[in-house]
Chains A and B, each alone.
Chain A
Amino acid sequence: MIDVRDLRKHYRVHRRAPGLWPAIRSVFSRTYETVPAVDGITFEIAEGERVGFLGPNGAGKTTTLKVLSGLLHPTSGDVRVHGHVPKDRDDAFLREIMLVTGQKQQLLWDLPPADTFDLNRAIYDVPRAEFRKTVDELVDLLDLGSLIDKPTRQLSLGERMKCELAAALVHRPRVLFLDEPTIGLDVNMQTVVRSFIRTYNERHRATLVLTSHYMEDVAALCPRVIVIDKGVLAYDGSLEQLSRRVRPEKHVVLRFSREVDAADLEGLGNVVTREPASVVLAVAPADVTAVVSRALARLPVEDLTVQNPPLEEVMSELFTRSRVEREAAS
């Protein structure tokens, strides 16, 4: 279980005006400013839960993840992961967690991933029989085959990420911290990685904390999301509820067998996008049935789907609202 109470992480940064003279002056006299990267966040994550951290760049997601994994010392607040205080980085804690980041790698670049696995086996003190069983399972789940015997530098980005995941799991951690694990991967590889993470979580009841810019990652993996914006918690709950709260309307997508005039769509709802033979309408949930019946009755509908607004739009709306609220408050 992860328990975070009033977590704050503030950085002291040096500020100066642009230009040569301010640069010279700053050598002798510096002005510092305290930047609150995380500013009073409280949440709990139960064992085996899958939670996604969402937020724009610089919102404080990665900082929170790094505090949870023990890499950063919090400025204040109480953080516990499975009863351990992460910043102490005691061995028992480090054996229970793993961190994979899409932009950094731990695999030894010139050696095959199998050598990194073996080094990690020694570092984590994993008994050989258990290690072999784990590696066999990971090779099978990630479809690694002979990849683990090729030098890392010869692997594609996607293959490397699969091997990174395997290297980080040889000690069977109970808490998985994943920071942008699918960044730069093609759609097919993103699906493979997501499916693996989900299977691993279900099979081993491992707790999963994920940050990602790809909404599909979060939608596919995390029943619960924690939205962080400007260092504060903007939302904590299910994606479904978040959509309902921020953008309650449904999107009715209609495809027609021939072109349809704008006039034919009047009274059906707000037009989000329109092409000659298709339209996306924003409709209040209570009106969906009526709108669908009317559309079927009066238009040459070939295909019809009702869906939530895209997650990107929901998030964008949420961030705009919280920015407006902040500006109003200040």
Chain B
Amino acid sequence: MTRKLGRYLTLLVHQVRASVLLSAQYRADFLIDGAIEVLWATNAVVPLLIVYGQRSSIAGWTFGEALLVTAFFTLLQGVLEGAINPSLTAVVEHVRKGTLDFVLLKPADAQFLISTARFQPWRAINVVTAGILFVIAFRNIGELPSLRGVLLALGLVVGSVTTLYSLWILTVSAAFYVVKVDNLTYLFGSIFDAARWPASVFKGALRILLTIVIPLAAMTTYPAEALLGRVSPTSAAVAVITPVVIATAARLIWVRSLSRYTSASG
């Protein structure tokens, strides 16, 4: 077991290394990507500034508290666009062209190989921006989070990343059935954007959609609530159970989808 874990860690290092080499191959792209990323990252706060310019609290969330949700959103967006999106978008192309053959013929878990095939190092800027947003948020709130709150929030973020990744695996698994899932990935990107707001902002059917059908609330709102020391035991339980259930379902569906792979001929 330890040997297997060590082997996969080594593989991860090799895959990340290849991505860094790839990004460094085109210097101009590397610099432009970086500059665009800085712009996008600062852009994440603009909607919040506009809304809170008009009022001091929305659905019970002050500016500082809502900024925490945005910070978690920015952090997850960095993970999504830097570590999840690039690899998994490539899988759709692999399935269409039949080059997934080469991944399936390697003596390593195919899901691991495709999930780690491509990283975009510049997207890590989102993580730095998220850090800055956390600092600004807590200065605005005027008090620091408790250690328990920080640990709980960290645990919930790990769950959020797992959920996000598993939702992507589910989307990508659809590629084995419908081939053209580009639209699905765009749709997912648009829905994910709603995670920048605290869940209580949404009402009615939209709230059910964004908390139960697509558990966006559990991804950003619950970790923010954990830092603020007001996450309910039910929310915490939901935030822990959701990733486990989704990850298990994603794995089962991925394995089932693989057996449908017909490999493009010629």
Contacts and interface: CB of A to CB of B under 8 A. Distances in A.
A30 B55 CA distance: 56
Given A103-B266, A111-B21, A119-B18, A70 B102 contact: no
A111 B102 contact: no
A94 B25 contact: no
A73 B259 contact: yes
Contact of B104 (A89, A119, A123): A89
A72 B262 contact: yes
Interface in B100-143: 101-102, 104-108, 113
B261 interface: yes
Q: By DSSP majority rule, is chain A's interface helix, strand, loop, or mixed? A: mixed
A69 B105 contact: yes
A71 B263 contact: yes
A66 B26 CA distance: 36
A66 B265 CA distance: 10
A155 to B, nearest CB: 15
A251 B22 CA distance: 56
Interface string B154-179: 00000000000000000000000000
Nearest to B11: A122
A85 to B, nearest CB: 14
A122 B99 contact: no
A124 interface: yes
A110 B25 contact: yes
B114 to A, nearest CB: 13
A160 interface: no
A64 interface: no
Interface string A57-88: 00000110010011111000000000000000
Contacts of A92: 107
Contacts of B229: none
Interface in A242-283: none
A91 interface: yes
A73 B255 CA distance: 13
A236 interface: no
B105 A104 contact: no
Contact of B18 (A73, A103, A108): A108
A124 B14 CA distance: 12
Nearest to A103: B266
A91 B107 contact: yes
Contacts of B104: 70-71, 89
B22 A104 contact: no
B100 to A, nearest CB: 9
Contacts of A119: 14-15, 18
A298 B259 CA distance: 69
A208 interface: no
A159 interface: no
A48 interface: no
Contacts of A70: 104-105
B105 A123 contact: no
A118 B14 contact: yes
A189 B176 CA distance: 36
A255 B18 CA distance: 60
A123 B108 contact: yes
Interface in B7-55: 7, 10-11, 14-15, 18, 21-22, 25-26
Given A123-B11, A123-B106, A115 B101 contact: no
Interface in B190-220: none
B98 interface: yes
Contact of B107 (A95, A101, A108): A95
Contact of B105 (A94, A108, A122): A94
B97 A111 contact: no
Nearest to A87: B259
A138 B10 CA distance: 25
B263 A97 contact: no
A151 interface: yes
Contacts of B265: 62-63
A303 interface: no
A104 B107 contact: no
Contacts of B25: 110-111, 151
B102 A104 contact: yes
Contacts of A148: none
A131 to B, nearest CB: 13
A71 B107 CA distance: 13
Given A71-B263, A72-B263, A118-B14, A105 B105 contact: no
A225 interface: no
Contacts of A62: 265-266
B82 to A, nearest CB: 18
A62 B259 CA distance: 18
A115 B262 CA distance: 29
A106 interface: yes
Given A11-B262, A66-B263, A94-B107, A99 B18 contact: no
Contacts of B99: 104-106
11 contacts: A62-B265, A70-B104, A89-B105, A95-B107, A103-B266, A110-B22, A115-B21, A119-B18, A122-B10, A123-B108, A125-B7
Given A71-B105, A104-B101, A125-B107, 8 more contacts: A98-B105, A106-B99, A108-B22, A110-B25, A111-B18, A119-B14, A122-B14, A125-B7
Interface of B: 7, 10-11, 14-15, 18, 21-22, 25-26, 97-99, 101-102, 104-108, 113, 259, 261-263, 265-266
List the 5 closest pairs (A to B, CB-CB), nearest first. Answer: A106-B102, A91-B107, A94-B107, A122-B14, A104-B99
